[in-house]
Amino acid sequence: MRIIPALSAFIAILAGAAAAKDLLPYEDGRSGTATVVPADWRELPPDERWHGTRFVSPDGSSWLAVYAAPKTGSIEAHMNATTQVDGETITYLVRRPGWLVVSGHKGDRIFYRKAILACGGTVWHHIALEYPARLQRTYDPLVSVVSRSLEPGANACG
């Protein structure tokens, strides 16, 4: 029965590779926030509340936002505001000096947010994804790759 775990691992590797193959690098010209975006997702018109760019999946059920916010006030206050949103149930939270990851449910949807303090501690770079909970297994590889692409030092300052 050792073949089943090995087969599962092989399939997971292939799924991750397939997801990565269909991703394009993206850098927001205003903020310098950089990540990867699925090649078939379309960019939405600018929306000032994001201070960046939003992309929507081909079926319109999911979105990815790439944005920035100037560091104003304390790091703790920004982390709290990024973490705590009305109507959400947090299932995963990691806070470290200068970055955080939060994920959970909002009704029948899953949200994922990551923020890092960049540009010498003057700007927060963010990614946010939201998608139907029924698609979690499909989206797990994408969330992983997008999250890893937003790392301190990997993002220029706009």
Domains of the chain: 23-149 (3.40.1000.10)
pLDDT of residue 49: 67
Show the tokens assigned to 45. 């018109």
Q: Residues near 23 by Cβ (< 8 Å), separated by ≥ 6?
A: 36, 37, 38, 39, 142, 145, 146
The string of pLDDT tens digits covering residues 97-118 is: 889 999 999 999 999 999 999 8
The one-letter code for the residue type at 39 is: A
pLDDT of residue 34: 86
The chain-wide mean pLDDT, for the chain, equals 82
pLDDT of residue 32: 80
User: Please, which pLDDT band fits residue 29 given cuts at 50, 70 and 90?
Assistant: confident
User: Please, which pLDDT band fits residue 16 given cuts at 50, 70 and 90?
Assistant: very low
Higher pLDDT, 33 or 140: 140
Arithmetic mean of pLDDT, 6-10: 36
> CA-to-CA distance for 147 and 129, rounded, in angstroms?
10
User: Please, which pLDDT band fits residue 28 given cuts at 50, 70 and 90?
Assistant: confident
User: What's the predicted TM-score (pTM) here?
Assistant: 0.80
Examine the pLDDT at 33 and tell me if it is beyond 90: no
Using CA atoms, how far residue 119 sits from 84, 85, 127, 156, in Å, is 24, 26, 16, 7
The string of pLDDT tens digits covering residues 121-137 is: 888 899 999 999 999 99
